[in-house]
Chains A and B, each alone.
Chain A
Amino acid sequence: GENVGLHLPTLSVQEGDNSIINCAYSNSASDYFIWYKQESGKGPQFIIDIRSNMDKRQGQRVTVLLNKTVKHLSLQIAATQPGDSAVYFCAEGANNDMRFGAGTRLTVKP
């Protein structure tokens, strides 16, 4: 089947720096993408989404970029804070099928 970023890399950043978390997807039919944040022992929390007719969407301190040409999705977090430490999942949706990647663990150093 199609996979979405199955590996679980780790990103360590200094507090106050910007973070960029990447996700590769392989289903070219996907038309809806979501980023989730999961803190230890909690359920994934919706952060931001983007549809395939857009290439950029901004939220509060977060920006999602979609590059359909190379099937790449990224999440940018501005001025990363200790509370941003978590596992971040990307998810892609196509035809009522939502698939999740394994996630990236973000650690923020004070």
Chain B
Amino acid sequence: DSGVTQTPKHLITATGQRVTLRCSPRSGDLSVYWYQQSLDQGLQFLIQYYNGEERAKGNILERFSAQQFPDLHSELNLSSLELGDSALYFCASSVAGRDTIYFGEGSWLTVV
């Protein structure tokens, strides 16, 4: 158990809908990351937050947004969902952002 908690574990939704994925980082970690992993694909970095502020942005679509709250938990919002958005979405956390990243177990999103 990495200490990073993600909910929900599985989610099935229809095209055009909006979902919110939630992440609680490890205790003491200030940095939160979101990654997308499609079938047999590598980890695609979406976005990173540090202590509530956006620190780095990767290949995140405009239909997606994220935030980190004062209690350091984070949410990833996916809207106008398309079939191609079906993937595993991982949250990860680290102490400060230049050290080891620990991953949660992921949220499986299926868009039908």
Residues of chain A at the chain B interface (Cβ within 8 Å): 6, 8, 32, 34, 36, 41-46, 49, 89, 91, 93, 95-103
Q: Is the interface of A mostly helix, strand, loop or mixed?
A: strand
Q: Is the CB of B56 within 8 A of A103?
A: no
Task: Give the residues in chain B near A6, CB-CB below 8 Å.
Answer: 42
The docked-state distance in angstroms from the alpha carbon of A43 to that of B54 is: 23
Number of interface residues of B (CB under 8 A): 23
Chain B residue at minimum C-beta to C-beta distance from A93:
B98
Q: Is the CB of A34 within 8 A of B100?
A: yes
Known: A42-B106, A43-B2, A44-B103. A96 touches B98 (CB 8 A): yes
Selected from A41, A43, A102, the residue in CB contact (under 8 A) with B104 is A43
B45 within 8 A of A: yes
15 additional contacts (CB under 8 A) given A34-B100, A46-B2, A96-B56: A8-B40, A32-B99, A43-B104, A44-B43, A44-B103, A45-B2, A46-B101, A89-B42, A93-B98, A95-B98, A98-B45, A99-B45, A100-B35, A100-B42, A101-B42
The docked-state distance in angstroms from the alpha carbon of A95 to that of B45 is: 15
Selected from B42, B103, B105, the residue in CB contact (under 8 A) with A102 is B42
Q: Can you list 8 A-B contacts with CB-CB less than 8 angstroms, sorted by A residue number?
A: A36-B103, A43-B104, A43-B106, A44-B103, A89-B42, A91-B101, A96-B55, A99-B45
Chain B residue at minimum C-beta to C-beta distance from A43:
B103
Chain A residue at minimum C-beta to C-beta distance from B9:
A41
